[in-house]
Amino acid sequence: MRVKKIAVIVVLLVLSSTYLRAQVKHKVLHHHVNIAASIARGQQVYIQNCLTCHQADGKGVQRMNPPLIQTTYVLGDKKKLITIVLNGFNEDVQINGQSFSNSMTPHNSLSDQQIADVLTYVRNSFTNKASAVTAAQVKLVRASNTK
C-alpha cells in the first residue's frame, strides 16, 4: 500500500513539473510572438512616418536628422523616447560628435499601439537591441502630457 502511495506521488510530481515547464515555455514563446508581431507592425509605421527623415538604414541625414543607431535617445529612457514621438523635438542635439538641428514634428495622431510598435521596431533594428515599448507605457506618457 505504501509503495502505491509513493508511486502515485512520484507520478503526480512528474506530471505537474512537466505541466509547469510547458506553461513557462508557452509564456516565453507567446511573449516572443508578441514582440515579433509588434516589430513587424512597427516596421510599417516606420516606413509610413519615419523613413523619409531617418532613412531606411536608420542612419538619418547628416547635420539634419539624427541616426537611430546605438544612441541613448533610442536605447535609453522609454518615457523620454515616447515623449519625443508624441511632442516632436525642436532642439539641436549632439550624437556621436555630430550636431543635428532639424525639427521633428509631433506624431501624436498615431495610436498608443502604433507608437509602441514603431518604438519597439526602432529599439530592435539597425543593430539596436532593447526591450519592447508597450501601448500601456505610451498611454501613461500621453496622459501625463495632457495634464
What is the per-residue pLDDT for 6? 75
In whole angstroms, what is the distance from residue 50 CA to residue 65 CA?
10
What is the per-residue pLDDT for 18? 57
pLDDT band at 9 (very low <50, low <70, confident <90, very high): confident
pLDDT digits (tens, 9 = 90+) for 29-82: 444 559 999 999 999 999 999 999 999 999 999 999 999 999 999 999 999 999
What is the per-residue pLDDT for 31? 47
What is the per-residue pLDDT for 145? 84
Give the range of the structural domain holding residue 81, as residue numbers without chain letter. Answer: 2-145
Query: What is the count of structural domains for the chain?
Result: 1
CATH of the domain at 78: 1.10.760.10
Instruction: Report whether 120 contacts 109 (CB < 8 A).
Output: no
Global pTM reads 0.77
**DSSP letters of 15-75?**
HHHHHHHHHHHHHHHHHHHHHHHHHHHHHHHHHHHTHHHH-TTS--BTTTB---SS-HHHH
In whole angstroms, what is the distance from residue 48 CA to residue 59 CA?
17
pLDDT digits (tens, 9 = 90+) for 83-104: 999 999 998 989 888 999 899 9
Classify residue 38 as exposed, middle or buried by CB count within 10 Å of its CB (0-12, 13-18, 19+): buried
Among candidate residues 77, 58, 64, the one with its CA nearest the CA of residue 122? 58
Residue 120 CB partners (closer than 8 Å, separation 6+)? 35, 38, 39, 42, 132, 133
